[in-house]
Amino acid sequence: MTIHRALITTLAAVTMTSTAPDAAAQQPAGDARAAGTFEWHTWSGDAGSRRYRLFVPAGHDAARAAPLVVMLHGCTQDPDDFARGTRFNALAGEAGVLVAWPEQPAAMQVQKCWSWFDPAHQAASRGEPAVIAGITREVMAGHAIDPRRVYIVGVSAGAAMAVNVAASYPDLFAAIGSHSGIPYRAASDVPHALAVMRGGSPDPAILAYALQDALGGRAMPLIAIHGGADAVVSPMNSRQLAGQWAGVLGVSSSPVQRSTEGGLGVERTRWSGADGKPAIELVIVDGLGHAWSGGSPEGTYTDARGPDASRLILDFLLAHSR
C-alpha cells in the first residue's frame, strides 16, 4: 500500500484540469441517462471478483451482434464518474455499441488505480488483465456481441492497463484507445513508473521488443490522445506508445497535420496500414493538461476544450475489426 501511496502522492501534487465532484455528481447522472440501461454486475473467476457497469443501448437486438467497448477509469475515479466525464454512453447508444466499465475499488487499491506498472499485472492469465478479460468474456457470453469488434479504452492508469490487457489478450480485442497513457511494459516498479510518467522511457528503442513478443504478429490498431501540457503523465509517453506500436506493425507515418479544434491546437499523426486505414493515430492537444479532451464538467479530470476524445476514439475503433 505504501508503494501505491507514493505513486498517488506524486499525482495529487500536480495541479490538474478537473472538475471536482459535488454531491449531485456522485449519482450516475449525465451520461448514465443515455438511452439504454446502465447497471451493475459482478464477475468472479480464478483471478478474483470485480464489479462493473454495463451500458446496453435502447433497442439492442439480441439477434444482431453489436460491438463492445471496455472502458477503464483512472486513479480516484469510478465507472460512474468516468462515464459522466466522457459522455461515452451517449455516443455508444447512437452507434448501437455496448460498453463495459470495470471498477477498481478502493478495497483493492486505496486510490482506485490500476496496477499497470507491476509485472504481476502485465501478462495474461493472472492479475488485473485476467479480471478485465474475464469481464469482457462474460459480457460477450451474455449478450449478442460481434467477437470481431471488441475494443478496450482507458485514461491515465486505466490507459496503461488497457495497453497491458490488449497486449496480453491480442485475440480478444480488435483495437485499443489510450488517453494520457503509457507504453507497454515501460515500467516494472514504482520508482521506474514515476520516472516514466515524468519524462517517458529512457530507452524507447527496446519497448517494441516487449510488445512484439506479446502480440505475436497480431496487427492491433491504436489511437493515442494526450494533452501537450500534461504535467502528470508526460506527452512523451504517448509519442513513445505510438512509436512502440509502429515498430511492431511495421508502418510509416504520414506528415504531421495541425488544426484547431475546440479552441486548442491539435497535432495529428497517422500511420496507415496496407488497407489504407489508419493503423495508428496520435493526437497531441496543445494546452491540455491531464484531462479528457472535450469532456464534460460532470466528471473529474476533464476539459471541455479541445477535440471530442470520445468521438475520435469511438470512430477510430469502429473503423477496425479483427
Number of domain units in the chain: 1
Model pLDDT for residues 178-188, shown as the tens digit of each residue: 999 999 999 99
Could you tell me the residue range of the domain that residue 200 belongs to? Answer: 2-13+22-318
The answer to whether 268 touches 281, Cβ cutoff 8 Å, is: yes
CATH code of the domain in which 277 resides: 3.40.50.1820
DSSP character at residue 255: P
The answer to whether 260 touches 267, Cβ cutoff 8 Å, is: no
For the CA atoms of the chain, what is the radius of gyration? Answer: 18
Note the Cα 136 to chain centre separation in Å: 14
- For residue 47, what is its C-alpha cell? 483471478
State yes or no: pLDDT of 133 exceeds 50. Answer: yes
pTM of this structure? 0.90
Model pLDDT for residues 286-297, shown as the tens digit of each residue: 999 999 999 999
State yes or no: pLDDT of 159 exceeds 60. Answer: yes
Residues paired with residue 223 on neighbouring β-strands, in sequence order: 177, 281
Q: How many CB atoms lie within 10 A of CB 145?
A: 20
Model pLDDT for residues 18-36, shown as the tens digit of each residue: 443 333 334 444 555 578 9
